Amino acid sequence: MKSLSVFRPNLNRPSGRAIAAAVRATVNSQVSDQATELAQLVEPKASVAKESPLDSQVKAAGLESAAPPTDLALPVGKNIIAIGSGKGGVGKTFFSITLCQALASCGERVLLFDGDLGLANIDVQIGASVKHDLSQVVRGRVTMAQAVTPYPASGFDILAGSSGGGSLASLSPTRIAMLGRDLVEFAVNYDSVVMDLGAGVDRMVRYLAGHAGRRMVILTSEPTSMTDAYAFIKMVMSDDPKAEVQVVINQARTLQEGEKTFAAIEGVCERFLNFRPQLAGIVRRDRRVNEAIRAQVPILNKFPGADAAIDIIGIASRLRSQK
């Protein structure tokens, strides 16, 4: 007759309740860590750290920019406004186009310079037909003046880049500097030149931004946008500690959300760069922006009363008052 085995519980095996408690503890710990990290970004401390938590994110994302062009003299155009973002997809080109139209509506002579030399798309976004672009200027086929395309529908001129032009994206530092000097000289023909930079902080962005008298960075409330905007600001300040950098919060659900986003980036810059950027303005999220882009019509032409349009008009007005 077989003897019955006696069941003995495994005292080393956690119970269902213990497992659930461990999961809750892990989740709570992760939330606490995230909250602590956010607090470290925006709350002041008695001792200032040498490196921001965003610096490590910048490095991890490969956003460390090329060495500054110390061997090249970079003339600066005081009327040139460089629009950067670090991250793509935050509405930088839309903002640049609308800012140009808002300035032009005030009677200014305005040039929109497509500084995204590898993936230019300004002419596509507004449905403009261009005969010449910067690739022909670089090759010496036309002058910068000959490459300008008037855009009478919005009252400003366009100097288009070259979409998919790999040769422009890989220009040598010397050739980039020459292009920048040519732009500074040509800019005297305008009251304002808005330079729509490419995304990121690569060599092309760094050199072109160095020719601008004023830099603006566009960001949203997304963490990746915050990291990339910080990388752009850090790049500018490392090249020119006296630079003027202004922040535009785009796609904000409310003005209050925009103010909180600006407070976060301002706090990080003040603590780790010893610099306080200025708030140029907040642009509210507006579904009519995408409608205007799909229609390839500037928003001030299609929806002049849209929230985003009104916000950018306000930014343009403040820019004019600061001249």
| Residue-by-residue pLDDT tens, the chain, 323 positions | 444 444 344 444 444 454 344 434 433 443 344 334 433 444 434 333 456 666 665 555 454 555 545 445 579 999 999 999 977 889 999 999 999 999 999 999 999 999 887 677 898 899 998 899 888 898 889 999 999 999 999 999 999 987 655 556 678 888 888 899 999 999 999 999 999 998 888 888 899 999 999 999 999 999 999 999 999 999 999 999 989 899 999 999 999 999 999 999 999 999 999 999 999 999 999 999 999 999 999 999 999 999 999 999 999 999 999 98
277-312 exposure pattern, b = at least 16 Cβ within 10 A, e = fewer: bebbbbbbbbeebeebbeeebbbbeebeebbbbebb
Cβ contacts of 142 within 8 Å, gap of 6 or more: 132, 136
Centre a 10 Å sphere on the Cβ of residue 176 and count the other Cβ atoms it contains: 22
- Res 110: pLDDT: 98
What's residue 177's pLDDT?
83
pLDDT at 176: 85
Spatial separation of the C-alpha atoms in residues 168 and 175, rounded to whole Å: 10
CATH number for the domain whose boundaries are 77-321: 3.40.50.300
What is the reported pLDDT for 323? 81
Please name which of 244, 203, 240, 317 lies closest in space to residue 80, comparing C-alpha atoms: 244
- Taking the model in full, what pTM does it have? 0.79
Query: What is the model's pLDDT at position 103?
Result: 98
Secondary structure class of 206 (helix, strand, coil): helix
Position 175 scores a pLDDT of: 85
Strand partners, 157: 111, 150
Integer-rounded Cα Rg, in Å, for the chain is: 25
Count of C-beta atoms within a 10 Å radius of residue 163:
18
227 within 8 A of 58, measured Cβ to Cβ: yes
Q: What is the pLDDT of residue 59?
A: 58
Q: What is the pLDDT of residue 288?
A: 97
Q: Which pLDDT score is estimated for 4? A: 43
The whole-angstrom separation of Cα 205 and Cα 198 is 6
What is the reported pLDDT for 1?
45
Q: How confident is the model at residue 65, as a pLDDT?
A: 52
**CA nearest neighbour of 58 among 209, 183, 238:** 238
Report the SS3 class of residue 234. helix
Residue 217 parent element (H or E): strand 212-219
